[in-house]
């Protein structure tokens, strides 16, 4: 491999890792936000405010729009999955379950991403991907088995299912977005996808403004919204689409196994939850799965 190719390969994994960290911190930030702001409004603001930030840049830079109907369709699919359905469903889900549960469910992202990618590519992932996925899922089984229980305070089946649906929609958005990125570029895919989502969600905000007592929102609530807008909604998507387009869904998608580790660490540090030996074992298994899945 040439030095240039080595650099690109390393940068691809770094970009994917950065996106995974930003997304891994999402459950804690969302939990803090929905503690002060209506959950549906949190999901809407996440996309709408991000649109207000990036849309002027897209217009000023004259970023290319899709030229083919197929690319437009992929862009709309990506927007609906990643910028409409995911923030709405995840905000509603986190409000009805715990941060730890949301973190565990985020571990399903690479499974769904790999599945959608395999369907799109019309070929199954390689053997090492399946082995790595199996090892990482063992870690998730331990996580779920040691922390799961619908009699736990703050945990509901409705909330968990909403988080699962959110992960499915996000994975669908990742894969469809990666398919249009080579045609119009990373920034165009992110900015125009966000803009479509913002247009779709604007009426929802109008109908839901009265659900929040805005005068009672503290700096923590606004800071959580700011984080959700800038990092997982804008910067993470740019890094993720760039990495997927260059590393492939099968190899790069498995880095999402790191997200529950980051999310659980945030649950311990930010939300004050305890870190037990089973959680440590699960984290090791998930990281081992990532390493195995990356091997050709």
What is the rounded average pLDDT for all residues in the chain? 84
* Percent of the chain predicted with pLDDT > 70: 90
Question: pLDDT for 259-273, tens place per residue?
Answer: 778 888 888 888 887
pLDDT for 144: 59
Beta carbons of 115 and 249 less than 8 angstroms apart = no
Question: pLDDT for 187-216, tens place per residue?
Answer: 899 899 999 999 999 999 888 888 899 999
Closest Cα partner for 45 from 237, 239, 151, 194?
194
Beta carbons within 8 Å of 64's beta carbon, 6+ residues apart = 184, 185, 188
Cα 118 to Cα 83: distance, rounded to the nearest angstrom: 22
Q: 10 vs 287, which has greater pLDDT?
A: 10
pLDDT for 126: 76
Whether the pLDDT of residue 1 is over 80: the answer is no
**Angle of helix 259-269 relative to helix 277-294, nearest 10 degrees?**
150
What CA–CA distances, in Å, run from 68 to 71, 73, 75, 184, 231?
A: 5, 9, 11, 11, 30
* Percent of the chain predicted with pLDDT > 90: 39
Average pLDDT, stretch 101-110? Answer: 77
Q: How many angstroms from the chain centroid is the CA of residue 131? A: 23
Whether the pLDDT of residue 5 is over 90: the answer is no
- The three-point CA angle 220-233-63 to 5° equals 135
Closest Cα partner for 95 from 24, 45, 155?
155
Q: Is 51 helix (H, G, I), strand (E, B) or coil?
A: helix
pLDDT for 252: 77
Question: pLDDT for 123-161, tens place per residue?
Answer: 777 787 788 878 877 877 776 565 444 345 666 778 888
Q: 288 vs 229, which has greater pLDDT?
A: 229
Question: pLDDT for 53-97, tens place per residue?
Answer: 999 999 999 999 999 999 999 999 999 999 999 999 999 999 988
Q: 287 vs 215, which has greater pLDDT?
A: 215
pLDDT for 148: 47
Cα 291 to Cα 269: distance, rounded to the nearest angstrom: 26
Q: 249 vs 265, which has greater pLDDT?
A: 265
64: tokens are 């290319």
Q: 49 vs 143, which has greater pLDDT?
A: 49
Cα 190 to Cα 272: distance, rounded to the nearest angstrom: 34
> Model-level pTM?
0.82
Q: 247 vs 80, which has greater pLDDT?
A: 80
Cα 84 to Cα 261: distance, rounded to the nearest angstrom: 25
User: Which sign does the torsion angle of CA 244, 247, 248, 252 carry?
Assistant: negative
């Amino acid at each position: 491999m040439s030095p240039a190719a080595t650099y690109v390969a390393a940068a691809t994994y770094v970009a994917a890792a950065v996106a995974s960290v930003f997304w891994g911190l999402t459950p804690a930030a969302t939990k803090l936000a929905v503690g002060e702001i209506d959950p549906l409004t949190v999901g809407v603001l996440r996309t709408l405010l991000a649109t207000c930030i990036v849309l002027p840049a897209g217009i000023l830079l004259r970023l290319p729009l899709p030229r083919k109907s197929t690319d437009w369709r992929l862009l709309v699919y990506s927007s609906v999955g990643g910028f409409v359905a995911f923030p709405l469903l995840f905000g509603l889900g986190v409000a009805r379950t715990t941060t730890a549960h949301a973190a565990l469910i985020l571990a399903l992202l690479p499974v769904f991403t790999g599945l959608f990618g395999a369907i799109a590519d019309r070929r199954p992932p390689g053997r090492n991907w399946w082995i790595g996925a199996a090892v990482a899922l063992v870690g998730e089984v331990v996580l779920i088995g040691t922390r799961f229980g619908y009699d736990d305070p703050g945990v509901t089946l409705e909330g968990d299912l909403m988080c699962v649906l959110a992960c499915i929609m996000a994975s669908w958005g990742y894969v469809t977005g990666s398919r249009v990125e080579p045609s119009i570029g990373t920034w165009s895919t992110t900015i125009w996808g966000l803009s479509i989502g913002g247009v779709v969600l604007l009426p929802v905000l109008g109908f839901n403004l009265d659900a929040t007592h805005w005068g009672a929102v503290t700096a923590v609530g606004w800071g959580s919204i700011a984080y959700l807008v800038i990092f997982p909604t804008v910067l993470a998507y740019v890094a993720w689409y760039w990495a997927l387009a260059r590393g492939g869904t099968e190899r790069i998608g498995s880095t999402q196994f790191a997200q529950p580790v980051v999310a659980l660490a945030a649950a311990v540090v930010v939300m004050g939850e305890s870190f037990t030996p089973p959680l440590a074992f699960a984290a090791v298994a998930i990281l081992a799965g990532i390493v195995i899945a990356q091997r050709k």
